[in-house]
Every structure is written in structure tokens, then in C-alpha cells.
Amino acid sequence: MFDVLLFAGTSEGRMIAEYLRELPVRACVFTATEYGGSLIRKGETLSVREGRLDREQMEALFLKEKEAVVLDATHPYASDVTSNLKKACENTGREYIRITREIGNPSDANAVYFDSPADAAEYLNHTEGNILVTTGSKELKAFQAVDHYRERIYARVLSLGKVVEACEEMGFRGRHLICMQGPFSKEMNIATLKEYDIRYLVTKDAGAAGGYPEKEAAALACGCRMIVISRPEEEDGLSPRECMEYLKNRYGNDRISSEGNAENELWPVCNAAGDAAKANDQILRTISIVGTGMSGETSGMTVQGREICRNADIIIGAERIADAAAFPGQKILYEYRPGEIAEHIHRHDEYVNIVIVMSGDTGFFSGAKKLLERFHRTGIKVNIYPGLSSLSYFTGRIGEGRWENISASLHGRGAAAENDDVFDRKMTVSLQASSWEDVDICSLHGRTCNLIGHVLKNEKVFCILGRKEHISGISKKFLRYGMNDLLIFLGERLGYPEEKILLGRPADFAEYENDPLAVVLIINAAADHRTGTRIPDEFFVRDKVPMTKEEIRTISVAKLDISKDDIIYDVGAGSGSVTMEMASAAIDGMVYAIEKNETALSLIEENKGKCKCDNVVIVPGEAPCAMADLPAPDAVFIGGSGGNLPDIVRDLKEKNPNVRLVINAVTIETIGLAMQALKEEGFHITGISCVSVSRAKEVGEYHLMMGQNPVYIITAESD
């Protein structure tokens, strides 16, 4: 005995069948064809039967299944089947529910409506030009009435043997018979219309689920007239989502009483990593994160992503993105915060196919990362469909030469002449910037970034901007560091009709106010690709302030084991020589140079400019007091402590119990003080090295080795 008898044959029917498969009800799905049955996933409580039933067979079935409710999810144009189901339910006293499909919203200026295929064929008989018929093989016979139909009509039908055979018997064969399985995207429809030079597109008003919006959009794009076969009659019933809500309310209590917590069946939570695979097998719903590309439209969305959106029960995303991705009649939730999105999905288990749309590429500075973290903790399976990233789009546009000289646009053609060395070689510049496999990528959108350091080390740097003053701010910074030889491509509102791409030097952008939706590609032909951090002693300005010598700096910085995003202190920074070496190593981190001497502070500022170390913060004062408001460090170099070494070590341990330390000592007394302080605070001393360096000095024709003071290098980590 069955609780539910579902007559399917449409995407709505398959959606409800999938929902029934997980409910504690006995259900049977009926499909007219073997192919339709193959699209339904069977389950322990879900059976599938193939083959058409007439009214008498339906009545016999309904009398046998006395407790079953009948769900009619057959095609809107299958009026005979629906009529038989209604009459059979009426005669047997069965509850009947019609599953409806939303009506399309065609453009009146481009569509002509007819009550039947025969009426449409009569109209087409008085026209000229090729015709694409997409109503299905059953209605093709009516279009044989069109004069010269074998030459004019192209029929798109299912790729099934019986269908092909029937079409060929009616005279539709060869190039005029297009055998494909839908649904079809707008792009696919456009390609078909252009390939066959179609003037008239014949379709049923099959709603979003039947691909009507994509057909209409393609027809409008190609200047093709829509010939629409109207639905047999206006139907009353439940939408697929309303039907699933009905099923949940009707059978939900049974489910809870028989299986415990019903909600967790639809929202499984993994208590351990080993449970993840099992939980995923139980998941009924599908969550897809789809990237839409750069603009508020869907031009940067893949065809696959567009199809995923078309079949969605609900579209979730920021307003402009969700509106662009949604199809007529679809449910939309305007939300971009991960917590609120997860909570909404948790509360509404009637949504089977859930789509979250996000701008750009889902893996490129996208909020998709936070969503995935949240969903993975619950064991929910998530599919990812990336869109076109701003980086690939931008470099492609540059390669096409779609940019203008900002000097010319702001100051007139006279200014452009001063840059002929760059802008007269437009093709060379375009080719240089059109590839992005060798681009260093960073972002200033809601985050900090040592852009100067990235530009110094890389020939091409791509950066996402965020605020109006960004391009002017970074250009002024480039000028402050003497970097006006850079080339800057600025892209604003990429993918929008008002898109703008400009090329100039930092001086050209110093006063330019960019749109908030902006990116830059910076080209530095003089980039230093070396990975080492060595800076010669003679490069630094030192005056009479002590400076850690080059060889000692190299060893000390190496022993700190610096990562590129480390937060580092230089305690007793002096002239800043070690500071600059560490800043060069921690290109995505920050170095805080702590110094109390006024002369030394000036030298650090000057050396910061010479070394172009924009990720250095100068902190006036004496440690440990000067460290109080600084972020917790990952590594610390102590070159001078002013007698406060025990207090400095104690405060560093409190800020970060796992901090790494390197201490330089010249006197025996400092070594003893350091050893005692480190042991008292629970540090493990990982090494003590005494480094003696001799440097050659020219004396006439000879070189004499002159010894430097030995330096003790102490390394320590927390136990």
C-alpha cells in the first residue's frame, strides 16, 4: 500500500520525487516512458513504474490504494492525462493535488499567441523564413501543414530512438532534425537560432522550469519572432515548494515520532570527521555556490552556473546579484551574511535545490570561503560553480587594447606627447599585461596589504581596491618612495556599461578619485626578483648610531625563521638595519621598530624610505612599555634592551606564549642576564652562537683581515 501516488514527467515531478524519497512515506512515481523513469532515483520507500495509464487503469489503481493522495506533476500541456487523473480521483474519492508551473512573461511586442499547434501552423504558412519548432515530437504533425515544411522547419526533439523514427516518418530528417536533451541556456538557444538562420521560434509557454525565459531572451537577441502555443487552461493547484510544505506538514509528525529528530535528518551534523561521508549520504538538499562574474548581470557566469540557477528553489545573495541571477517566479532571499544564510536554510527544509550567488569568482577573494567553513561543519554537501574573475576579465580587456591614456583624458593631448615612450607602443604594453599566470595577486578591499613590497619584487601585481581614495593614496605613496616609473592600469566597474580602463604613471593618478568597484594592474619593469634579504651596510644611513653589521644581520634574521605574514618586533632598532632586513622577509607582515633615541628614530625613517619598506611601523619609546599597545608578535629580535631584558622577555611571553626570540649580545654580562630571563619565563634555548667576523682592509697592494667584535646570537622558543 502507498501513501502517495505521484504522476511525474517534469522537472517539478522529479523535485517532489526526490523530496518523497527521504520522507517516511511509501510513495510510487508513475512516468509515461522508460526514459522518464530513468531520471527518478529509487529509494527504500520510493518505487517507480513506467508506462501510460488510461482512465480505467487509473481508477483500478486508486481503488486498490485507498489511502493514497494523488499528486499530478505531469506536463502543463498533457491536458488529456490531467483530465483523466481528475476524473479518476473524482470517481474513486481520492484526494487530487495539481502541481502547477508558473506562467512565462513574454514580451508582447515579440510574441504571437495561438490556442493550438494547428493555428500556429496556419499563421506560419503565410510567412517566409526558417522555423525552429521546440514543442516536442507529438505536435510536429500539425506543422506538416506549413508549405515547404521539409525545407523551412527545423525540429528540436529528444534524442530517443522512437522519437527520431517518428520524426523521420513525418519528413523531418537530416540537418532539419536536432536531437538534444534540454534544458538549454540562452547562449545555446542563440547559437541554434544563428546556425539555422531562424526567423520564427515556436514554443509552448512552459515557464522557467521549461526553459521559456532562455528562449525568449535568445529570440530577442537574434530578432526572432516568438510563436507561443498557449496553455490549455488556467490551472489551480500548488507550486512545487507549496507541495513539499504540504507533505512536510502532513507527514512530519509521523517522521518525528518514528525516527526522533526530524530536523537533523535534513540538516545532519557531523560530530566527528569520520561521520562526514555517512552524513553526506543522508543529505536531501543540494546547496550550490555560484559565481556571477564582476558586474550585476550574469555575463560572467558559466553556462553550467546559469542552469543551476534556473533549477533553484531559492536564490540567495546580495540584492543586485540575486535579482540578476533569478528567473521569473523564483523565490529570492536578499542576504549575504553566512550566519543568516545558514540559519534561513536550516529553518526552511522545503527548499531542495538552494543556490547562493556571489559576485566574481567563488575562489578569488570571495565570501564563499566563510560559507564553506560553516556548511562543512554541519556535513552539508556544497557544489561550487566559479564565475569569471576580475583578474582574467581585466587582463583580457587590456590585451584587446581597451584602455585610454589618463594623461590625455585629464590634461589633453599635450600631456600624452610627454609619454610617447609608453603610449605609442600600445600593442607592446597590451601584450605585456594580457597574461596573468605570472601576476602577483593581493587585495586592499577590507584588508591591509604591503603593496609597495609586492611591487618591488614582482613585474606584475594585481590588486583589488575598495575605497574611492585608494588609487590616489597608493599613487602618492609610490611617488614618496621614488617609484614613478611604474605603469598602472586602472579598471573601474568592469563588466558594466560604464566600464572604464585607464593607463598612466603614479603621478597621473595622484589626484584621481576612482569608483569603489575598481582594480589595478601595476607593471614594474625593474622588479627585483631575488629571494634573499641581504642589504649592504653602505646602503644604510647610520650617522653615529650603532648598527648591526651585515653578516650578523644575515645570521640573526635567518635564525628567526620568518614567515611572510609574521608580526615582528625589533627591540632597540638603532639605525633600523635589522628592521629593514626583516621587513623584506615578512612581505605580508609588519615590523615594529621600537627605539627611544631621537637621532636613531630619524635614521629609521630615512632608511625606511631608502629601502622602500612600507610595512615598517616606527614606535618611539623604551621597551617593554612601548610594546603595550602593539599586536602580539610571532618573532622578536632584541638588539638592545637598555637593561630591561627580564621585563621585556616576561611581557613578550604574556603577549604570545609561542613567540620566537633572537637576542644579540656583545658582553658576557648580557649573555648571563639573557639566559636567566629566558629560563625563568619557561623558554627553551635552542642555540647559542658566537660569531666572529673579519673584514678585509686594503693596505697598499695588500689586504689585511681586520677582526670585528664577536657577537653572541641566542635563539629561544617557548617550551
DSSP string, 278-306: HHHHH---EEEEEE-BSSSSSTTS-HHHH
Among 229, 252, 272, where does a domain finish? 229
DSSP string, 123-164: HHTT--SEEEE-S-GGGGGGGGGSTTHHHHEEEEE---HHHH
Please tell me whether residues 585 and 680 are part of one structural domain: yes
What lies within 8 Å, CB to CB, of 673 at 6+ separation is 645, 646
Q: Is 315 within 8 Å of 309 (Cβ atoms)? A: yes
How far, CA to CA in Å, does 640 sit from each of 239, 596, 665?
75, 11, 8
Dist CA 48 CA 32 (whole Å): 11
Among 356, 388, 420, where does a domain finish? 388
Please tell me whether residues 580 and 473 are part of one structural domain: no
User: Is residue 671 situated within a structural domain?
Assistant: yes
Dist CA 636 CA 660 (whole Å): 6
pLDDT of residue 558: 93
pLDDT of residue 382: 86
Beta bridge partners of 694: 707
Q: What is the DSSP letter of 327?
A: P
Please tell me whether residues 588 and 556 are part of one structural domain: yes
Instruction: Give the H or E element holding residue 53.
Output: none
Please report which residue ranges of 153-211 form alpha helices under DSSP H.
161-169, 186-195
User: Is residue 248 situated within a structural domain?
Assistant: no
Please tell me whether residues 409 and 359 are part of one structural domain: no
pLDDT of residue 343: 82
Please tell me whether residues 57 and 73 are part of one structural domain: yes
User: Is residue 549 situated within a structural domain?
Assistant: yes
Q: Is 662 within 8 Å of 713 (Cβ atoms)? A: yes
pLDDT of residue 713: 95
Write out the three cell numbers for 638: 632584541
CATH number (domain holding residue 301): 3.40.1010.10
SS3 label, residue 589:
coil
pLDDT of residue 719: 66
pLDDT of residue 257: 31
How many domains in the chain? 5
User: Is residue 255 situated within a structural domain?
Assistant: no
Beta strands 683-691 and 711-718 are antiparallel
Write out the three cell numbers for 113: 499567441
Closest Cα partner for 535 from 446, 623, 447, 608?
Answer: 608
What lies within 8 Å, CB to CB, of 56 at 6+ separation is none
Please tell me whether residues 587 and 709 are part of one structural domain: yes
pLDDT of residue 620: 95
pLDDT of residue 588: 92
Closest Cα partner for 331 from 360, 309, 308?
Answer: 309
Among 370, 388, 406, where does a domain finish? 388
Expressed as residue numbers, the domain containing 336 is 263-388
CATH number (domain holding residue 685): 3.40.50.150
Please tell me whether residues 373 and 460 are part of one structural domain: no
Dist CA 593 CA 572 (whole Å): 8
Please tell me whether residues 568 and 680 are part of one structural domain: yes
Instruction: Give the H or E element holding residue 266.
Output: helix 262-266
Please tell me whether residues 428 and 305 are part of one structural domain: no
How far, CA to CA in Å, does 172 sit from each of 127, 164, 379?
20, 9, 50
User: Is residue 256 situated within a structural domain?
Assistant: no
Sign of torsion over alpha carbons 423, 424, 429, 430? positive
3-state secondary structure 72-87: ECCCCCCHHHHHHHHH
User: Is residue 532 situated within a structural domain?
Assistant: no
CATH number (domain holding residue 511): 3.30.950.10
Q: What is the DSSP letter of 531?
A: -
Q: What is the separation of C-alpha 91 from the centre of its chain, rounded to a whole number of angstroms?
A: 54
Please tell me whether residues 561 and 678 are part of one structural domain: yes
User: Is residue 257 situated within a structural domain?
Assistant: no
Closest Cα partner for 77 from 32, 107, 131, 47?
Answer: 32
Please tell me whether residues 303 and 367 are part of one structural domain: yes
Please tell me whether residues 579 and 709 are part of one structural domain: yes
Dist CA 677 CA 647 (whole Å): 8
The model carries a pTM of 0.58
Closest Cα partner for 89 from 51, 60, 53?
Answer: 60
User: What are the per-10-residue average pLDDT scores of the chain (719 residues)?
Assistant: 87 84 87 82 85 90 88 82 90 89 54 85 91 89 92 90 90 91 84 93 77 85 88 70 81 42 34 35 69 76 87 88 85 86 80 88 80 71 86 85 69 46 53 76 82 91 82 93 92 86 92 90 87 79 84 92 94 93 93 94 94 94 93 94 90 93 91 92 92 88 87 89
User: Is residue 215 situated within a structural domain?
Assistant: yes
Please report which residue ranges of 458-593 form alpha helices under DSSP H.
470-480, 506-509, 550-559, 577-585
